[in-house]
Structure 1
């Protein structure tokens, strides 16, 4: 058993002083506010680690490669062609190297678990590897190396557009039959460490038929279900042409959306869809930095939160990995749209930072099928802040999260423990040099 003592810690009932946290075998065993430090290791401020609800880890390697204009109509769809070209040569070892870099950066920014929306399954010719879960194994290896928690979400992808349209050549490494996907799910399950979670991810209504959606979601058993929905206006228009309904409208009507579901992006919602999604208790998986980078649009967060909606944040394309940046971009998008300030404060808080952090903590944990927060029985996923960092000069609990999220040029993080394992010390991942060296060598070869 290890004991840590914090001058202040954010617990489920709010900020508390002089908090002793004991953990063993990856879980918190005791949380005692107003305690003496005794022989415990002393730190300044503790926060619970957050869940990154949506990641495509391999895309970290193509960050910055799509910022060259191909014409006046650049959008998600032209970006997607760059992505297809980048992944064409990647091996499982390449994926492991790139994912390790991404996961180390996530831990350094305060994420302690990742929802890996994993759709790169096959070899460059689109053939299954001899080990159907070879690529999933690369993800598991990267998690083991870095220490980040994993909720693996194998992706079912079968078609190129609504109505079972033929896929494009660029999608050949993603594609599965129903039986092949069931085998992939079971092979992936066998790879997971004890504290990992397994869900499923029908990629989108573009990529699955209604019958396939029902079969794939049944494979989740009691795990989470994630799906891309209404990310781009063209997707909405194509769905209307196919079904007469919008993507989220169709899912609400036909898919039994409930608290196990996480709808990724859900950018383009009508007021009725927004309110209905909130009422179902599902999680909206928001990726504000990627959504801005791709020009997707602005999620209606003010209305959604007023309706009681739940959300988590993710780094999606991993163009820039930083927890605070995702939360800040979410608030700033609302300000730019409405030309007002402090729009997402609520739930009894006048602090935007605290509101965003609390909501992302609860929604992210729900979306990845785990318990969040610093309490007995929860995973020992903790973030220690460096109160000597200039960003936090003079900060107190009332302003601390606002200072970090809105005023920090670099993350004021000192240490991060995931499942009780010290992963970050002095603001850097403990294995950062070796991980970065392998990542650099991999990228130099892939981009040669």
Structure 2
């Protein structure tokens, strides 16, 4: 293929392509790359990539350095970092994906001497695949929401009729969730232990390696020193020494994240505990946010203000847990993406526990505000809710001899303030 024809193909393909040199200066950018930017820029050639995309500079620098040092391709997948470059989607599915979900590949371009002289950055639009994945996630969330509605109905019938219908299926799901959490917890425990040991080993090996290098530099002949430096440079040892601790720390952070999810899943599964106990409200809020994270991250930003000290009071853990779930889910339903969900707790001047949950949703009209705690009252569409969530919340507040105050304004949002006595 002739060079001109090759360049014409590169310029016409619907995949963003950009080439940079060792100083991160852009030497080539096809129209799909430059034209796809949300802030269109047709004069990228000669600009420094890290200056043009300053917000992503640290991430891009790490990826580019990896290619130059290790001479291997590096990748960024949309699940880990959805929007590396601020680009418009070429294939929006629902109209919501105005920003491109992208896979990015950093590929080495070698010169005649075999050294990496440039890096080619290829940006692939995967908005369609990402949209499909998120639709599947929404479906999963809908099933989880239906599961919660069934539990709310079960609780309301217990309070209103003093009877509880037996639900073996729900109990089986709870046991299954607890069992899965237990099975995950064991392997993640030894994975974390091995990573911590590996981190310790790597630190010792790097210290030993550094000591050996100092000894060789002091005592070896110049030709051996030159050979050593050449080996270090070819294998990218300096970069590896810098990158390895960060990789291990990221892996340890990942295992800690899994541990928290498993802990939240286990707590969520144990919903039938009717015993009174000292409840740490901060821990319950953290647990609820972990379990609901998949639903929250596509619908709201969160602002959580929790004190360093534990906020404890005498309560039924499962009832408080369900109260948090009901209020948060209602807030998410009322908000347009991406609204703001604010949660805080503290002791007030009377040493009572004060829980505040605020959203920037559609708000509640004055005529509806006086009825929101009535059983079966709902403003949701038919099939979208049972109208028992807030009545269950009110029943929990009454059972704990607490208070709830609601303020709301149409178009601006709602605020729920709960007060609970520290002791029963």
> TM-score normalised to the size of structure 2?
0.23
- Higher helix proportion (structure 1 or 2): 2
Structure with greater Cα Rg: 2
Identify which of structures 1 and 2 has the higher relative contact order when contacts are C-alpha pairs closer than 8 Å and 6+ apart.
Answer: 1
